């Protein structure tokens, strides 16, 4: 059993980060992940597709997320991308409640996507994010690599239980 991890290319203006650097790929693969990236995801930070080993690339964002168990991006994806995610998928990204009100509403209503948050209470902007208290959200603290490893193990467990 493997876990499909999808990394999206950032689309917001002036965003120069990528959600996954090449050094993390072997660690994810060792945990049983299959890593898929949107072509050119690392270009803005100077990481061409060729820098990533053992990664499948596609230009089709919808195809990338529809089979993903875990979707990684820095900035929140478009509503259309969230709608294309499969039931039970985990979305890992920054979500600023006061800027993405419609996305927050959609995630709260979807009840199919697990949203990861890093802290309780008000966010950096002083706004309480409704996702903090939703049943489909899980609190995450600490090292991002360790957290993702635990998430992969949890997704594997879900798959084994369903089999």
Predicted TM-score (pTM) of the model is: 0.78
Domain that holds residue 64: 3-162
User: What does the pLDDT read at residue 53?
Assistant: 96
Query: 105-141: per-residue pLDDT in tens?
Result: 887 777 555 655 555 555 555 556 666 666 666 655 5
At 107 the pLDDT is 79
Domain with residue 92: its CATH number is 3.40.50.720
Q: Which long-range contacts (CB under 8 A, 24 or more apart) does 100-108 make?
A: 100/76, 103/76, 103/79, 104/129, 104/130, 104/131, 105/130, 106/79, 106/82, 107/82, 107/131, 107/134, 107/136, 108/134, 108/136
Task: Note the pLDDT of residue 121.
Answer: 55
Question: What's the number of domains the chain is made of?
Answer: 1
């Amino acid at each position: 059993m493997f876990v499909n991890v999808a990394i999206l290319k950032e689309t917001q203006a002036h965003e120069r980060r990528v959600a996954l650097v090449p050094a993390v790929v072997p660690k994810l693969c060792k945990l049983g992940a299959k890593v898929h990236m949107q072509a050119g995801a690392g270009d803005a930070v100077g990481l061409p597709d060729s820098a990533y080993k053992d990664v499948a690339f596609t230009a089709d964002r919808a195809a990338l997320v529809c089979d993903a168990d875990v979707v990684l991006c820095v900035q929140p994806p478009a509503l259309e991308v969230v709608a294309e995610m499969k039931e039970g998928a985990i979305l890992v990204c920054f979500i600023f409640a006061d800027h993405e009100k419609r996305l927050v509403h959609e995630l709260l209503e979807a009840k199919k996507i697990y949203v990861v948050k890093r802290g309780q209470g008000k966010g950096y902007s002083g706004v309480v994010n409704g996702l903090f208290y939703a049943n489909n959200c899980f609190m995450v603290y600490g090292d991002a690599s360790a957290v993702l490893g635990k998430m992969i193990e949890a997704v594997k467990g879900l798959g084994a239980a369903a089999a």
